[in-house]
Amino acid sequence: MGVFKKTKKHTPQKTPETKDEIVVKRCPECFVHLPLDAKECFACHAKLGKVDKYGKARKNTNWLSYIICILSWAFLFFYLKWAFAF
């Protein structure tokens, strides 16, 4: 009464041992395969960094956004302190 056929066990793909074995890198946003020297994804226009050991490109950190966010919170805090005289 075998309704299901026996299949082979799924074996995971072998990851490259060194970065020299990696031929392409993948965009971290849309997972498109790109050349190793690409600085920007042609599909989603995300900026790309170096490739990791799995072939996925790292995201570049947008430090300007972090600095603007911290300064905005500091400005709000000091404005509230000045306006309401805690």
Bridge partners for 47 per DSSP: 40
Name the band, by pLDDT with cuts 50, 70 and 90, for residue 53. confident
Q: What is the pLDDT of residues 6-26, one digit of tens each?
A: 666 666 666 555 556 778 888
Q: How far apart are CA 14 and CA 28, in angstroms?
A: 20
Name the band, by pLDDT with cuts 50, 70 and 90, for residue 79. very high
Domain range list for the chain? 19-84
**pLDDT (0 to 100) of residue 10:** 64
